[in-house]
Amino acid sequence: MPRRRLRDLSIVQNTTNSEEVSTEQQTVVGSSSVPETLDESVDFQKVSDAYIKKALGKKWRNHKSSLKKEYFKKPISLEEKLQNVPPGMLRYQWEDAVRFWNSKKGEDREQVGTSSRQKQKFTHTAGSRSFACVAQAAEASSGQKVGRLQLFDITHRKKDGTPISSEASEIMEKLKDKKAEYEATASTNSSVNFEDIDNRIINEVLGPERYGRVRFQGSGVNPTQYFGSTSHQYMPSGSQSQAEVQRLKDQIVQIQATTDEQISQLRAEAAAWEAEAAAREAEQNRKYNELQLQLQSMMTMFHQFQNPPS
């Protein structure tokens, strides 16, 4: 990944009243230069740690998905899957993963993921490249800074230049029309902030940002870091927040119901197992008593044979 300045990575966004910083003063990611103050160093360390953790988490999820697709989804028996340990993986770890994927909980989680992916209207064409790398390549090619609207356009087109889907094409048209409206307003109103137009357009067309993420900025960038003190303008409103809270509550209720059902099923299975164990123990006791009677009968016959009546 090419080295980029901190501001180019969109980890932070300059506000309208912020002063321009010279190239020599900008911190370069991966370079030997260090922040000038302790506060800057601490903030940069927090951002770096958060990004690294999220990046590692994503790579680990992708790795597990690849293992599941390549080794678990094969049309073979469960025992064969348990024996087919991927190279470089410990056997007990693989067995734990296979048993989880094969369980009801694992199947339910897979269905949730499948359902979520089906709800996605479109994806981007950046592939394994980060949005920062895509933006840097576009800036190097055009010699101009790439905004969020332009980055959306770049990352949602095929190689032949056509939109990746009808939904993406429709959104592109809405973004284009909305930008034309803002530019027309800005031409007659000097109070309009040109630097903030892209953010407002995206917010109006695509809706508020999700908590902990900023569209087209990749992993590790949250609204507070990117928008600063104005982040509340791009987050869900009070009613939207209440709707989100209600959605989460409904989800919790659903999860609780599923959990209760699983607990009831486990209890029923445990009761059945206990009943089966009790029946098995009773059968063993019966057989034992029969053997005892047979043994006593044989001993009696043996004594009678040893001491025949005179």
Mean pLDDT of 151-157: 88
C-alpha to C-alpha distance for 196 and 147, rounded to whole angstroms: 10
pLDDT in tens, 261-286: 888 888 888 888 888 888 889 999 89
Residue whose tokens read 């980890």: 11
pLDDT at 203 over 70: yes
pLDDT: is 244 or 184 the higher one? 184
Mean pLDDT of 142-152: 86
Mean pLDDT of 81-85: 92
Percentage of the chain beyond pLDDT 70 is 75
Q: Is the pTM of this model over 0.75?
A: no
pLDDT at 96 over 80: yes
pLDDT in tens, 32-73: 344 455 555 556 666 677 778 877 888 888 888 899 999 999
DSSP code of residue 70: I
Q: Do residues 226 and 195 make contact, with C-beta atoms less than 8 angstroms apart?
A: no
Residue type, 145: K
Main-chain phi, psi angles of 202, to 5 degrees = -60, -40
C-alpha to C-alpha distance for 46 and 40, rounded to whole angstroms: 10
Decide: helix, strand or coil at residue 214. coil
Model confidence at 80, pLDDT cuts 50, 70, 90, reads very high
Residue 294's alpha-carbon distances to 110, 223, 307, 308, in angstroms, are: 58, 83, 20, 21
Q: What is the pLDDT of residue 229?
A: 61
Q: What is the pLDDT of residue 71?
A: 92
Long-range contacts of 15-24 (CB under 8 A, 24+ apart): 15/228, 15/229, 15/230, 16/193, 16/195, 16/196
